[in-house]
Amino acid sequence: MVVFPNAKINIGLNILSRREDGYHNISSCFYPIPLCDVLEIVPSEKFEFTGSGILVDGTFEKNLCVKALRLLQEDHAIGEVKMHLHKVIPMGAGLGGGSADATFTLKVLNKLFSLGLSTHKLEEYAAQLGSDCPFFVRNEPVMATGTGTEFTPCTIDLAGKYLVLLYPNLHISTQEAYSGVKPALPSHDLQTVLTEKPLKDWPQWVINDFEGSISHKHSIISQLKATLYDHGAFYASMTGSGSAVYGIFEKPLTNSKELPGIVWKGILPGHH
């Protein structure tokens, strides 16, 4: 079975408070986009994992796809498989590529071995693999709160808008990102802003709290954002904890070749 794990962007990201368990409470809109990896899984006599595309560091046993397989094997009679992951989504970019790969692995194994796992059960398994993972079970725009694993539907729909995604070839770890932020409650509710304010007003209201400190250390982030606005973006932002930067446009760009580090550009599909 071949599937196409897709990336997501964060539209706004507020870091509200530090929790007693060391994690942070956040508020963010997770929005799926059509930049995809390719994952093939077939039943096999013996386990095999191969990769292509962007090079993934570390041993295959540390790969989230393999961890997803091992997690289900603890509870279910699943045979071995051959996996091949072709990596297109950059890592350390705030796009959730590794999380998508892990969750799509769960979904494929559920079908291949007729496990009959419900959406809710898949989300529970996904949460054990990483905080972004449960989002990719339903793969629809949501407001994410708590540690990023509590979801409510978000009515925002960017269907027909043109997205340009830039990646400055910079890997930012979650630890580095969090070390530069001070949690604080925003002056306004993000979901209210996203659903009630027009897109052209987002720049003054919709903020990624990671962006300030990361741009301070890596000026390329603010340069890319400024370039997107110069090309006519309604809204531009870093996604997640970085380092990819995206711009939302009303219509396709005719001069996008001038933009550095494009990893995806295109018209966004509808989700509702």
Domain ranges of the chain: 2-152, 157-267
The CATH number of 157-267 is which of 1.25.40.10, 3.30.70.890, 3.40.190.10, 3.30.465.10?
Answer: 3.30.70.890
CB atoms within 10 A of CB 207: 17
Q: What is the mean pLDDT of residues 125-143?
A: 95
**Digit-coded pLDDT (tens) for 176-204:** 888 889 999 988 999 999 999 999 999 99
Active site residue 132: yes
pLDDT of residue 255: 86
CA separation for the pair 197, 182 (Å, rounded): 26
Q: What is the mean pLDDT of residues 204-230?
A: 95
Residue 92 has pLDDT above 90, yes or no: no
CA separation for the pair 197, 191 (Å, rounded): 10
CB atoms within 10 A of CB 216: 11
Task: Locate all alpha helices (DSSP H) within the chain, ordered by sequence.
Answer: 64-75, 97-112, 119-129, 135-138, 174-179, 190-196, 202-205, 211-217, 220-230
Equal CATH topology for 2-152 and 157-267: no
pTM for this entry: 0.94
Work out the burial of residue 59: count CB atoms within 10 Å of its CB; fewer than 13 is exposed, 13-18 middle, 19 or more buried.
exposed
Q: What is the mean pLDDT of residues 253-263?
A: 89
Per the CB < 8 A criterion, the answer to whether 133 and 142 are in contact is no
**Digit-coded pLDDT (tens) for 17-54:** 999 988 899 999 999 999 999 999 999 999 999 999 99
pLDDT of residue 68: 97
Fold of 2-152: Ribosomal Protein S5; domain 2 (3.30.230)
Q: Which member of 8, 87, 107, 225 is catalytic?
A: 8
pLDDT of residue 64: 94
Active site residue 107: no
Q: What is the mean pLDDT of residues 227-251?
A: 96
Q: Which member of 37, 101, 132, 209 is catalytic?
A: 132
pLDDT of residue 258: 84
Q: Which amino acid is at 53?
A: G
Per the CB < 8 A criterion, the answer to whether 179 and 34 are in contact is no
If pLDDT is split at 50, 70 and 90, which confidence band does 171 have? confident
If pLDDT is split at 50, 70 and 90, which confidence band does 272 have? low
